[in-house]
Amino acid sequence: MGETTRRLMQGNEAIVEAALVAGCRFFAGYPITPSTEIAELLAARLPQAGGRFIQMEDEIASMGAAIGASLTGTKSMTATSGPGFSLKQENLGFASLTEVPVVVVNVQRMGPSTGMPTAPSQGDIMQARWGTHGDHPVVAMAPASVGETYEATIKAFNISEALRVPVVILLDEVIGHMREGVEIPRAEDIQLLERKGPSTGPADHLPYADDGTGVPEMAPFGTGYRYHVTGLFHDETGFPDMSNATADTLMRRIMGKMERHRDVYEWTETTDTEDAEVLLVTYGSPAQAARSAIRRARREGMKVGEFRVVTVWPFPEERLRQLAGGVREIIVPEMNLGQLRLEVERVVAGRARVSGINRTDGDIFKPDEIYAGIREVYGGER
């Protein structure tokens, strides 16, 4: 088999290449800065790989087409940025409730509204969790480099297929457009997860029956399995059922499957936490500046550690709770006014003081700014 190769690529290109490796064969999209390269590259690459690229009339339609394609058993993806991500929300809720695997890339730009189309931001963190109405399961990942974007994209398809849940990849614009060297893994080292097919014939198939895992079997449309897919609450047959008992069972199952399969999607990295007094909770591109700031602080004797969250939603509560017990201060650097900090505060629940370093001017963090934030914590003692 092949060797690992190293390639210089852009974040948006890493999404494309990794999606193809993960088996994505359908993409429906709509041009929007700073995500457009994903559509452009897939317009050329997907037909070469035997897949299908469709440009739709807007983001609502793109999301709808990706869901429709996924129901036929094809791994599907769409990509967008803030305004388009807002438009996709209704269909994201549909995919959550009907449990249709789909990967949605949101290359975040400054918002709200048209905002600053070419400026980086992490302003959509809470939208990725709660953008559509109603309680609903969703996975969101925020890789910190181009290489990690490649890895996260493959994982996003795996999670989506294994748990039948929409997965959102949140790039900051700077990751989407930055070029970095990426280690392309050898084909045999890449593990792919596929959705679970039906174990019975068409006559006995119950498309929304819980087989004990919380994740129903999924029969591709067009293979003889005729069933009903609806955004109404439904019972095991898929047909609408508005009874309180069915609604409660369905909602608790789709939320419950996320809780019990944390091992499938949870992805965090800890560095220098053993003796840490101060903990940085990072995600996305600010983690790169944070790493440099932490190294400098360490050289100067400050005991700083890092808890980096790649899968942001569902939030790795347990892991942070363990770490929070041992530190006195937690700092969350974010390119927004403190969205993930709210979640960190909720989980830490007073075990440590939580503060933020925030940029909301459309520029990226410099290591000095994060270093200054760390220094401030030590300010009184040195």
- Min. distance of Cβ 52 from another protein in angstroms? 11
User: From CA 81, how far away is CA 225, in angstroms rounded?
Assistant: 36
- Min. distance of Cβ 121 from another protein in angstroms? 17
User: Which of 31, 202 has the CB closer to another protein?
Assistant: 31
Angle CA(63)–CA(68)–CA(74) in degrees, nearest 5?
105
Tell me if 25 sits within 8 A of 75, measured CB to CB.
yes
User: From CA 174, how far away is CA 158, in angstroms rounded?
Assistant: 25
User: Which of 13, 345 has the CB closer to another protein?
Assistant: 13
User: Which of 47, 197 has the CB closer to another protein?
Assistant: 47
- Min. distance of Cβ 53 from another protein in angstroms? 7
- Min. distance of Cβ 360 from another protein in angstroms? 18
User: Which of 58, 259 has the CB closer to another protein?
Assistant: 58
- Min. distance of Cβ 157 from another protein in angstroms? 22
User: Which of 29, 284 has the CB closer to another protein?
Assistant: 29
In one-letter notation, the amino acid at residue 153 is T
Task: Report residue 14 as tokens.
Answer: 């890493």
User: Which of 69, 331 has the CB closer to another protein?
Assistant: 69
User: What is the rounded radius of gyration, in angstroms, for the C-alpha atoms of the chain?
Assistant: 21
Binding site for another protein (CB under 8 A): 29-33, 36, 39-40, 43-44, 47-48, 53, 55, 57-59, 83, 87, 113-114
User: Which of 113, 244 has the CB closer to another protein?
Assistant: 113
DSSP class per residue in 293-338: HHHHHHHTT--EEEEEESEEES--HHHHHHHHTT-SEEEEEESSSS
User: Which of 317, 363 has the CB closer to another protein?
Assistant: 363
Tell me if 65 sits within 8 A of 28, measured CB to CB.
yes
- Min. distance of Cβ 330 from another protein in angstroms? 37
- Min. distance of Cβ 56 from another protein in angstroms? 8
- Min. distance of Cβ 77 from another protein in angstroms? 15
Smallest Cα–Cα separation from 20: which of 142, 143, 184, 175? 184
- Min. distance of Cβ 95 from another protein in angstroms? 21
User: Which of 40, 236 has the CB closer to another protein?
Assistant: 40
Which residue do the tokens 């409730």 mark? 97
Tell me if 43 sits within 8 A of 218, measured CB to CB.
no
Residue 18 CB burial class (10 angstroms; 0-12, 13-18, ≥19):
buried
Q: Which residues contact 28 (CB under 8 A, 6 or more apart)?
A: 53, 54, 55, 56, 61, 62, 63, 64, 65, 66, 69, 76, 78
Q: Which long-range contacts (CB under 8 A, 24 or more apart) does 243-250 make?
A: 250/97, 250/208
With both helix axes pointing from N to C terminus, report the angle between 89-98 and 59-71 in degrees, rounded to the nearest 10. 20
